[in-house]
Amino acid sequence: MEVVLWPDPVLRRGVEPVEDPTSLAETARQMLDLMYRTEGVGLAAPQVGLTISLLVLNPSGDPERPEEELVLINPKIVSKKGKEFAQEGCLSFPEIYGDVQRAQRIVVTATDADDNETELRAEDFLARVIQHEMDHLKGVVFIDRFTPADRIRIRAQLEELEERYRKLNAPT
Ligand code: ZN
């Protein structure tokens, strides 16, 4: 398992609902381990090439704090309140950062890998990470939400990623 980089089309594809959450315990564990190794705080299934409704996160980014790990399967946002701007990055866009507006507080329903339904209330940074990862499940990436000025600022970095992808995937 490795992190899929922009502009791999799997990042735009969207996902299917998960029928059997208990089948994903091992996948979720591998995604969390990969997330820690790459120093992220969240990872969505499309970022490892899987088109299923699964995301993992740990807002501390610290493998020594497993109590903060969350595995969300078939997540749905049931309410959103407030708005705030803050800087985000994404493991699929190395070294690209920009401000994104997100809801300040959200309520999410999801299932975990033991097939327990949970309702989660999150605010500020945790709410932001969840919204960022849930966007991935819809094929939306954070640069879609950048301001026009930030899009111009990152254009050369995006072109570099696109060039790298073309070279890696060129027919031989
Ligand atoms: Zn991301």
Closest to 126 measured CA to CA, from 72, 47, 59, 75: 59
> Residue 136 and residue 11: Cα distance in Å, rounded?
7
Question: Can you give the pLDDT at residue 143?
Answer: 98
109 phi, psi to nearest 5 deg: -105, 145
Question: Can you give the pLDDT at residue 141?
Answer: 98
Question: Can you give the pLDDT at residue 153?
Answer: 97
CA of 129 to the centre of ligand 1 (A): 9
| Contact (Cβ atoms closer than 8 angstroms) between residue 81 and residue 104 | yes
**94 CB-contact burial (10 Å; exposed 0-12 / middle 13-18 / buried 19+):** middle
CA of 90 to the centre of ligand 1 (A): 4
- The 10 Å Cβ neighbour count of residue 43 is 28
pLDDT in tens, 13-56: 999 999 999 999 999 999 999 999 999 999 999 999 999 999 99
128 phi, psi to nearest 5 deg: -65, -45
Question: Can you give the pLDDT at residue 63?
Answer: 96
pLDDT in tens, 120-136: 999 999 999 999 999 99
- How do 98-111 and 42-44 pair as beta strands? unpaired
The average confidence (pLDDT) of the chain is 96
Across the range 128-148, mean pLDDT stands at 98
Closest to 76 measured CA to CA, from 61, 60, 97, 55: 55
Question: Can you give the pLDDT at residue 158?
Answer: 97
Q: Find the catalytic residue in 16, 119, 133, 159.
A: 133
Q: Which amino acid is at 7?
A: P
Question: Can you give the pLDDT at residue 57?
Answer: 98
- Judged against a pLDDT cut of 90, whether residue 88 lies above it is answered with yes
- Judged against a pLDDT cut of 80, whether residue 171 lies above it is answered with no
Is 133 among the residues known to form the active site? yes
CA of 172 to the centre of ligand 1 (A): 30
Quickly state the pLDDT bin for 170 (edges 50, 70, 90). Answer: confident
